Amino acid sequence: MADQLSRVFAALADPTRRDMVARLTVADATVNQLAEPYAVSIQAVSKHLKVLEDAGLVTRSRRAQTRPVHLEAEVFDLMTAWIERYRRQAEERYRRLDAVLAELTDPPPADLPTGRPQKAQPQKGKSS
C-alpha cells in the first residue's frame, strides 16, 4: 500500500477510525480515553491509531505515561484536492455532454475535435 492518499482513504474506510478522528477534532486524547467508548480491547484501538498515524492523520507525543494523540487536519486537503479535481472534471463533462445534445437537436455546425478523437458515439435515440 504505497501512496499516502491510498492510506488516508483506507484509514477512513473504518467507522471506528472515523469516529476517533471525529472525536479528535474536539480535543487531543490519550489512547485510553479514545478506547473508552468502544467495545474492543485497548490493543485494537492502538492498532487503529497506528493506521491513522501511518496515514499521517494523527501524531503522538509523550506526556508522562500517556501518549496524547493529536489530529493533523491538513491531511484532509489531500483528499479534498483529489475529490474536487475529479468532481469538477465530471461536472464539466456533463456540461459538455449537454452542449453536444443541444447541438444534435439544434443546428449542427461543423465538428471541432480538440485533437483527441473522443470515441464518437452516434447518440441518436438516446434510449438506454
Chain residues that interact with its own copies, rule: CB under 8 A:
1-3, 5-7, 9-10, 12-15, 18, 21-22, 24-28, 61, 63, 71, 73, 76, 79-80, 82-84, 86-87, 89-91, 93-94, 118-119, 128
Shortest Cβ distance from residue 84 to its own copies (Å)? Answer: 8
Task: Centre a 10 Å sphere on the Cβ of residue 54 and count the other Cβ atoms it contains.
Answer: 15
Instruction: Choose which of 22, 37, 47, 83 interacts with DNA (CB under 7 A).
Output: 47
Using CA atoms, how far apart are residues 96 and 72, in angstroms rounded to an integer? Answer: 38
Shortest Cβ distance from residue 6 to its own copies (Å)? Answer: 5
Candidates 43-51, 81-89, 101-109, 110-118 — which segment interacts with DNA by CB under 7 A?
Answer: 43-51
